[in-house]
Amino acid sequence: MAVADDIALIKKQETTLVFSAFDEAVAFQIGSAIRDRALAENLPIIVDVRTFDRPLFYAAMPGSNASNPDWARRKINVVRRFLKSTYRMVLEQQRPDRSFKVGEGLDIADYVLAGGGFPVTVKGAGVIGVVAVSGLPEREDHGVVVDALCAHLGIDAHKLALPPEAK
């Protein structure tokens, strides 16, 4: 699948995975689902679910490391700034150094082009937060979040899943 096809599918994910409401209980359910999957599959990740004003769920799994929270923080900043998924940003920007163009004025210490941050969108309110995963290859981080959101919203994840990356 071409990059343009992946971007189009991610845009569809972003417009489909919309909540009617989002609160602490929903954040806990989504974060717990990701944590449960990580335990079952031995995924060395951290998961951070938050609105833009405060954290609502955080878990660090066995095998995750001290850099994962910082990667998640920088992914969260990208979602907050651009209101779209970080993996979509990776594909749109095509910057192997993981930084934004100099003209953007975004410091690499606070912003990173890396998949795994996905916007929490509420119908009638817009993007109000983010679900971030860090610890796997970026396409997989993105997929873990999308799978959890699909499950929570009752949407068939297979219809929205990105295909395996071409080798």
The answer to whether 72 and 62 have CB atoms below 8 angstroms apart is no
Q: Which domains does the chain have, with CATH numbers?
A: 3-156 (3.30.450.150)
Parallel, antiparallel or unpaired: strands 117-122 and 126-134: antiparallel
Bridge-partner residues for 50, per DSSP?
A: 55, 130
- Side chain identity, residue 69: P
In this structure, the number of other CB atoms found within 10 A of the CB of residue 134 comes to 28
DSSP secondary structure, 93-145, as one string: H--TTS---GGG---TTT----S-EEEEEETTTEEEEEEEEESS-HHHHHHHH
| pTM score | 0.95
Per-residue pLDDT of the chain (167 residues), as tens digits, is 589 999 999 999 999 999 999 999 999 999 999 999 999 999 999 999 999 999 999 999 999 999 999 999 999 999 999 999 999 999 999 888 888 888 889 999 999 999 999 999 999 999 999 999 999 999 999 999 999 999 999 999 999 999 988 76
